Structure 1
């Protein structure tokens, strides 16, 4: 267990991705700016400091063999109740770890792999072409928008990525628009209430904080499925 924790900490926090764009510090009621955690960007939303994005250099770590044991990703996908015709967006899809698992379950639907790093998207494209996967669409997302049509998604998955959004309020607005009226948002974040989870505080989130931020976007907690080793599996629906 100690070896797993050390590996997790090494790869997750030593590879921040910093785009070559200056941080926008123009007046905005949603955000404040002050120094905080060394792993944070100095930008705060509703009392929470935003973390640096993990860089594409950690791509191989995303597909590590230990991930199933550490995160129980099989159970996560069961929690989602994926139907064959579901249209699902993986926001912050990375190298596509969850994308290709979901593509098998939603064989008559579409899986949208959304990321802001070209290197991640290129990796997904390579695998899609290599394995001739027909129901995966690669989408270049923005910092404020997911670039998916309104009212088109049955489900949205965000795994350990929301806390890194530079513009969480704007992103949630975009996600909510893309969800169908009965759509569900699956927010997966390391449990901030649990000191035994071997992750730095800025890369965790409490249920209370998540509810507060989602409520501001017009989303409410439907259920928090408490069956993952280290993470919350919070399901939000339109309010």
Structure 2
């Protein structure tokens, strides 16, 4: 039987490991919110990923009215020749709407779930979207070609990345010199936005995390009823 001092020392070591943040800004600890994974980045607890079982919510009929997704697409000022990467593409809600906006370009529809990649592939023809290219991501790499993307769009997905530092570093490397990142997240500053707190982000937190990787804040386009539309570019 272990001595009480040995058990105490082992427990203290475990606590130290849990509480310690490495130089990348990560920290493991007991979840403060049961909807989180117990991993923190730059002080923010990372949320559980919404699985493919939630596909119907992504395609809900009132989404355009509720989120003004039409306004979001207009504000992105996408050019016909752009290569757009839709990160966390899911069912392709945005990918298939961006497709006709880039007739001389393409949409890289990135998702971590094979079920979503199959959904995207199966629905390309019905959406007349042959310029949509589904890409299976890993948790650390979206598998985008280097220096080739004009716009990276991340809608309500970044807060669920369990390796945000590695993912954003890879995303930054995929951008052309004039490339942009459009980060869309429910406003964490607004208690009236009817979303669980862990699934929202403040502008300050988003900027802190992006700027830690050398991204430069351009603007917060305040046209959406519930979400931030934050634009970043390479430094």
User: What TM-score comes out, normalization by structure 2 length?
Assistant: 0.89
Q: Write out aligned runs for 1:121-140 (5 A).
A: 121-140=117-136
Superposed CA deviations along residues 87-109 of structure 1, whole A, max 9, x for unmatched, are: 00000000000000000111110
1:160 to 2:156 alignment? yes
From the superposition, tell whether residues 124 and 27 of structure 1 become closer, same or farther in structure 2 (CA, over 3 Å): same
SS of residue paired to 1:211: helix
The 5 Å alignment of 1:14-53 reads: 28-30=22-24, 31-35=26-30, 36-53=32-49
| TM alignment of 1:181-220, pairs within 5 A | 181-220=177-216
Secondary structure of the residue aligned to 1:129 is coil
Aligned counterparts, 1:9-158, within 5 A: 28-30=22-24, 31-35=26-30, 36-158=32-154
Match of 1:5 in 2: none
Unaligned segments of structure 2, at least 5 residues? 1-17
Q: Does 1:234 align with 2:196?
A: no
* Superposition misfits of 4+ residues, deviation over 3 angstroms: 25-28, 129-132
Provide the alpha-carbon RMSD of the alignment: 1.4
Distance 2:101 2:52 in 1: 26
Displacement of 1:162 in angstroms is 0.2
Deviation at 1:131, TM superposition (A): 4.1
Distance of 1:129 and 1:191 partners within structure 2: 35
Q: In structure 1, how many angstroms separate the alpha carbons of the residues matched to 2:126 and 2:204?
A: 42
In 2, Cα distance between equivalents of 1:95 and 1:133: 13
Measured after TM superposition, the shift of residue 27 of structure 1 is 8.1
Change (3 A) 1:27 1:208: closer
Rounded to whole Å, the distance in 1 between the matches of 2:198 and 2:219 is: 23
1:130 shift after superposition: 3.7
Max Rg structure: 2
